[in-house]
Chains A and B, each alone.
Chain A
Amino acid sequence: MPLTPADISRIAKLARLELAPVEHEEMLNKINAFFSIVEQIEGVNTEGVEPMAHPVDAMQGSGPMALRLRPDLASEPNDREANQRSAPAVERGLFLVPKVIE
């Protein structure tokens, strides 16, 4: 089913995107154009098929990939200066943002 203008507004809010009315219109049309080719997956019978979250799952012999675990070592040095070099607003080592109200 095609998306409605309300869907676009809801999703834009979720994604923290601000769309001017004209952008909103264009977004609706282009996303619906895409969903017109998406519909063909609805009919596909996928009963009993395990979703594939990691491509190497299908690699023969390897079987489902297991998470690799690292030893518990704190080895990262303090690299604050380099890490904050591209930060928009920093004061006394803190990232600044408009007041957070809880």
Chain B
Amino acid sequence: MSAAKLVHGYEVVIGFETHTQLATQSKIFSRASTAFGAEPNTQACAVDLALPGTLPVMNRAAVECAIQLGLALGSHIAPRSVFARKNYFYPDLPKGYQISQFEIPVVQGGAVSFLLDGDAKTVRLVRAHLEEDAGKSLHEDASLGGGGQSGIDLNRAGTPLLEIVTEPDMRSSEEAVAYAKELHKIVTWIGMCDGNMQEGSFRCDANVSVRKPGAPLGTRREIKNLNSFKFMQQAIDYEVRWQIEQIEDGHAIQQATVLFNPETGETRAMRTKEDAADYRYFPDPDLPPLVIAPEWVERVRSEMTELPRAMAERFVRDYGLPEYDAATLTQSKAMAAYFEETAKACGQPKLASNWIMGEVSRRMNADDMDFSHVAQRVSAFQLATLVIRINDNVISNSAARQVFESLWALASNDVTVALTGVGAVGTVGDVDAIIESKGLKQMNDSGELEKIIDEVLAANPKNVEEYKAGNAKALNGLVGPIMKASKGKANPAQVNDLLKKKLG
């Protein structure tokens, strides 16, 4: 870990607990659906409601998700782990206890590594354990029960969670957010979690404390339910400032759970859950130990998709890309796949990379679009063709941008743009057809170009004089009109050569 940057002479210490909802069809201990947004309690079956006589039966897919994460983060997959009951009363907790893992979790150790401003960072994991999600308490509707009441919806109760717990290895809010983004990328990349933060599929709790360098760990406060990267940074920064002020004012920090209010940008302590301190954990007698055979782990390993870091290294190795390009292109699975397809088709990896990180990303962001939809606008094959034409000097970069624009527009629903795009010419989305119809081909026949140059020279004797007098800049005054006269089809390099020749 590189030297921690200090805030007003204090070192910031952050650890994360992230609840990831697992992308399973059914709940962890029942056969009810996990689909989001159903009518209240229509996806809460007898088991989820803890009706008398019901018992839990474990979902195999949830275990498989845990194995995948463990393999992705280099963790130890416990061959035998134990489900325990965490006992406390809360209306959204139907059994009066949460089935979780306590003494022996399924995933142990491991680490998340990422780049932050070019520096490699590593955050160590303590553990990741399987547990069931709670339901939801709804307070907004003041009319409920004639007012003063909360409504309980248990559709979410029993949704499988993997709680991923780190060591207090982060030293700034930037580092914390970078960790969260990297973890988010990994869990969505391997497909164990849909990563939808609005729907609560990826919920982060940050344990924040501050200390003078070298001093023992300070008392931490836990910021709950950070489900946007933006708020995450704001919340941590506010919390850090608040803690430092408290200490500077001579107040000791009290351990507490706090909530971040996006409106005020402040954190406030939650009403402490009574006896939260004594959960009376004990092994759940309804569930024998979870046993994971080595063969199972090996099977999952063999079926695992290539992870982003491995893929980035391969891009550097096989395509000769700079690390920065490789890291950027592996931000999402779709982007990486799009790059490889384009690069293979055009044989110009660096050019393809430039275009994807440049024009494609710019256009995508302008339309506030997810990369998975880019190929529907401009296919990797189309982009590859474009790259080839540029490389063969058939069109200039600026002309290529025009072609790209019309390809993008063509695929959009906006038909009028599409038609003006292709003009009279046939096959929609055919790169060469568009170049043709827009007359964007570069003028590579020097005869025609020399004719234009001669006219321009004749029309601008002054510039010619100045150039001959030794003012190299004067050449630019000539290039401009020539390009204009060629309607941009002239190849600037070729124009320069010819001019220099003529002006000897």
Contact = CB atoms under 8 A, between A and B. Distances in A.
Nearest to A53: B283
A54 B25 contact: no
A14 interface: yes
B270 interface: yes
A34 to B, nearest CB: 18
Chain A: number of interface residues, binned into ranges: 35 or more
B285 A69 contact: no
B91 A72 contact: no
A71 B57 CA distance: 10
Interface stretch (A21-29, A38-46, A83-91): A83-91
B259 interface: yes
B278 A92 contact: no
Interface string B1-31: 0000000000000000000000011100011
Contacts of A53: 283, 285
Q: Secondary structure of the B side of the interface?
A: loop
Contacts of B43: 78
Interface in B99-125: none
Nearest to B293: A66
A82 B112 CA distance: 47
A86 B486 CA distance: 84
Interface in B272-294: 274-275, 278, 280, 283, 285, 287-291
Q: Secondary structure of the A side of the interface?
A: loop
Interface in A44-102: 53-54, 64-76, 78-80, 83-84, 89, 91-102
B152 A14 contact: no
B139 interface: yes
A68 B286 CA distance: 11
B449 to A, nearest CB: 67
A70 B58 contact: yes
Contacts of A101: 271
Nearest to A64: B289
Interface of B: 24-26, 30-35, 39-46, 49, 51, 57-63, 83, 89-91, 137-139, 144-145, 148-154, 259, 270-271, 274-275, 278, 280, 283, 285, 287-291
